[in-house]
Chain A
Amino acid sequence: MDVLNLLLQGVSVSIIPSNLLSCTTGVLIGTLVGVLPGIDTVSAIALLLPFSYGMDSTAALIMFAGIYYGSKFGGSTTSILINVPGEAASVVTCLDGYPMGQKGRAGAALAISAIGSFIAGTIGLIGLTLLAPPLAQAALAFGPPEYFSLALVGLILLSKLTGTSTLKSALMAVIGIMLSTIGLDSLSGISRFTFGIDELDRGFDLSILAMGLFGIGEILTAMTHVDAKPNIPSVRFRDLYPTKEEWQRSITPMFRGGIVGFLVGLLPGPAATISSFISYGLEKRYSKHPEEFGHGAIEGVAGPEAANNSAISATMIPLLSLGLPFCGATAILLSGFMIHGITPGPSLITERPELFWGLIASMYIGNVLLLVINLPLIGVFVQLLKTPLNILMPLVAVVTLTGAYSINNSMLDLIWVTFFGILGFLLQRVGFEPSPLIIGLVLGPELERGLTQGLIICNGNIWTFITRPIAATILSLGAIVILYNFFTWFTKFNNKRKELDTNRY
């Protein structure tokens, strides 16, 4: 009960009015950052750093953390309403959230995503409270060969998330990996496939691609249905919230997503994004209605939105107990901490317990606040869909393009958003799904880095990978899945042939 005592002390720190106020401010800003596409957590915190100098350090940290986890809470809003992901981690929510909105269930999707975020965020926090130091140590056991194995198996399992054709999905995933090689190679410092254009060195930003393929692509699709009636979802109060059936279908995915997200969040890389894809894949596999996925399956909203929120709590573990940021957003949090004279790391829990536990307690409070803020907003957001398409779509285009420009202050990015928008529109028309491309783009660099670094560490011998227990386990899991799929395909094929044979005689 030691932990409980410490946590209670933390609560007493976090409910001091000034800390409570900064927690509220943080989650409010976070919600805004999440809702607006293009404004990411990193730049929001960086822009606010100078304003925090005057604040007490605990209050400032509580606020920064609030922005961080708050932004993942609101990220699904624009995914569901207008098919533009507000955050990279909510790309996958477009797949089923937007179709739900089109069917007049936007309110339910938003509510489920808010409640799922809350439940999973709390699961993640419990993990953070109880297991932070040992888990941080465990995460260190993952070296480059392990990441390579994870990325490889991830690509195999995730590339066929949507759509019906394995070939088409695989093709898109490969194109995604190819796109990910463009730009300055982070390891060798060499520009690849940039044709001497300096700006291409930056490579393709995930958000830019997602905004184009999903957001602009959807605008173009909407334009082709000129006489489509604007969607007027009913405004009855009870329609804003999930039905009993939707609830029952969402509750398991929420918990499953929460646990998956937490585990993925412990590892370096864009954990929140990857965890949401993994959760989506899992839900599709375990669902009783896999055919509904991509057409508004509520599990496809509940799982991923839960996963990306518990991933956030998990990313705080290496940050707080080792002082090592595993992703961009925790890197800026670390800077925020250090500017206030606090160095997270092994000694933080013992040297500054009031701060450590105060921060964690504030995250519990922040999660409740987020739920309280977000639920009433659903009614407001859903009204947005009553806007006639000929007014809404140009507005979406403006918001998307502004967001895209603000990421790197670059005109070239606007060209890319437009290009990928047209590409996304054309792909949809011919039956290709853009999401495997996104997966290829996210996992491609992890795969390549893991392989390059792993080979150097293993003296150039790739078979050494399978002598490392963790890498071997992951790789054999992947092999089993491939064999299983092959086996089922083969038996199906065989049965069909037998059937044909019996029919013939």
Chain B
Amino acid sequence: MENKAVTETKKYPDKPITLIVPFGVGGGMDLVARLLEKTAPAQLGQPLVILNKPGGTGAIGWNEVVGATPDGYTLGITGIEVLLQPLYGPTKFHYPTALEPLVQISESPMVMAILAEQPWENLDDFIAYAKQHQGKIKFGHSGIGGIGHVAGESFSKATKLNLEQVPFQSAAEAMTNLLGGHIQVAFLTPALANEFVKSGMVRILGVAGEHRLSNPDFANTPTFKEQGLDVVGSSWFGIAAPKGLPIEVKNKLADGFKAMINDPEFQKNIEQLGLQVTYLDPKESAEKWLTDSQRLTRTVQETGIVKKIKEQKK
């Protein structure tokens, strides 16, 4: 029996590998998956078959990944929601422990965007104005409990401004409403803000990451940390497998994906989508999941997001 298992894994992969995308066709995660599809046959030895299983903010797709046989033929693309979902209520599986991260592909910190025609030149101006005009400032984001909301609420808490939040269906919708002047602030990914920053319509007051963004358009934008505020919130994409992958298979996949991510053309394509390639290996990814989980657990409780969601669920 044991021998057979070894020979079987040695042959891995001898059939196409299914990559489950837990969101619809055309979303950010889906595009990343489709970019990987291209180099897969060369680096993994087999093509990737992309299967979209949208629904439940990723839950349906990830449930399927967790429930699959850990043989390396069913993988899933993951994002920050893997860590956020279990914080808001019972999920079928506890994804951070039921899934095994293989790699992190990219990471983008949220940015705080305002209209450039607003009189606030920097964060201090903004905070001073908001303090004097309680209830006038509303911030938009791409959905309650999402990372944009988390970043916005932790900003609101760190500055004691008690800003009111307006949920939108997508970050693009939040951006539209910011441009139309219906909301005053939006917390979203730099990819969406980039073009408006370049054309001078939008100003970024802070980056919710550990470091400044590498994109030259944002080079002069300080992080919140630099400005003395503990506001951190980044979205990221990665690949995970169901727990219990044979070690050879895991290594093979980790090496394959590493090569795919380091492929210069893949990097170019990812950057064109406005994402920043931030590769992490399986071990680093697992550590990041742990620290991020701990921090997010604290943040969503302290900012009252969990309480708010639980109240609505009643």
Give the interface of A toward B (CB within 8 A): 42-43, 45-47, 49-50, 53, 140-144, 184, 186-191, 198-199, 201-202, 268, 318, 322-326, 328, 331-332, 335, 338-341, 343-347, 408-410, 449, 452-453, 456-457, 459
Contacts and interface: CB of A to CB of B under 8 A. Distances in A.
Given A42-B25, A45-B26, A190-B309, A335 B146 contact: no
Contact of B272 (A50, A186, A340): A340
Given A338-B272, A456-B138, 14 more contacts: A45-B26, A46-B26, A53-B38, A202-B55, A324-B175, A331-B172, A335-B273, A343-B194, A347-B198, A408-B54, A409-B51, A449-B169, A452-B167, A459-B135
Contacts of A43: 25-26
Contacts of A410: 53
23 contacts: A42-B24, A42-B25, A43-B26, A46-B31, A49-B31, A144-B177, A186-B143, A189-B145, A190-B313, A191-B56, A202-B56, A325-B172, A332-B26, A338-B272, A339-B35, A339-B273, A341-B272, A345-B198, A346-B195, A347-B195, A408-B53, A449-B169, A453-B168
Interface residues of B, number: 58
Contacts of B272: 338-341
Nearest to B177: A143
B309 A201 contact: no
A245 to B, nearest CB: 44
A331 B55 contact: no
Given A188-B167, A199-B55, A325-B172, A335 B26 contact: yes
A408 B22 CA distance: 11
Nearest to B183: A457
Interface of B: 24-26, 30-31, 34-35, 37-38, 51-57, 59-60, 63, 88, 92, 135, 138, 143-146, 164-170, 172-173, 175-177, 179-183, 194-196, 198-199, 201, 265, 269, 272-274, 309, 312-313
The 9 closest A-B pairs by CB, nearest first: A143-B182, A345-B195, A332-B26, A140-B180, A201-B56, A202-B55, A346-B199, A187-B167, A46-B25
A344 B177 CA distance: 18
A52 to B, nearest CB: 11
B177 A324 contact: no
A437 B163 CA distance: 38
B31 A339 contact: yes
B37 A50 contact: yes
Contacts of B26: 42-43, 45-46, 328, 331-332, 335
Nearest to A186: B169
A201 B60 contact: yes
A475 to B, nearest CB: 17
A143 B201 contact: no
Contacts of B168: 187, 453
